[in-house]
Amino acid sequence: MGLFRVRKPESQPSAPEQVSPIPITQFDLSKRYDVYYMEASHDRVYENVLFVGIRTFDRLSEYSSGLINGYLEIESTDGSRCLLPSYGIRMICESGTQPTFRILRHRRNC
């Protein structure tokens, strides 16, 4: 026996599991999408494409999915594929839908 009394840990009430008010879901990879992409000198849209995968030069681990420094591989309706850096993607819509928006200001041409 020691000089000090050993304290038993007090049982703490378990916190209720919080559920996000906004659902988080994955992309349906069987659907086609329109991908709006921004380059330094112009904006473009890749229409009616499938997401095929992510390609990366990084080693995959439990902390790295490959998307941050990787490329998103897309496939068009004619079967051609290309790789896009993920940081240039500005918007993704289901193919054929027209997003409703209002332009607030225009960028200056460089």
In a domain, 40, yes or no: no
Query: Can you give the pLDDT at residue 66?
Result: 62
What's the structural domain count of the chain? 1
Burial class, 89, CB count within 10 angstroms (exposed 0-12 / middle 13-18 / buried 19+) = middle
Q: What token pair was written down for 45?
A: 């849209």
> What is the distance between the alpha carbons of residues 104 and 96, in angstroms, rounded to a whole number?
24
In a domain, 75, yes or no: yes
Q: Residues 96-108: pLDDT tens digits?
A: 888 888 888 887 7
Q: Residues 36-80: pLDDT tens digits?
A: 999 888 889 999 999 999 888 877 776 766 667 788 999 999 999
Q: What token pair was written down for 22?
A: 């906004």
Per the structure, the complete domain to which residue 60 belongs is given by 51-95
Task: Kindly report the pTM of this predicted structure.
Answer: 0.68
Give the amino acid at 91.
M
> What is the distance between the alpha carbons of residues 104 and 48, in angstroms, rounded to a whole number?
27
> What is the distance between the alpha carbons of residues 81 and 76, in angstroms, rounded to a whole number?
6
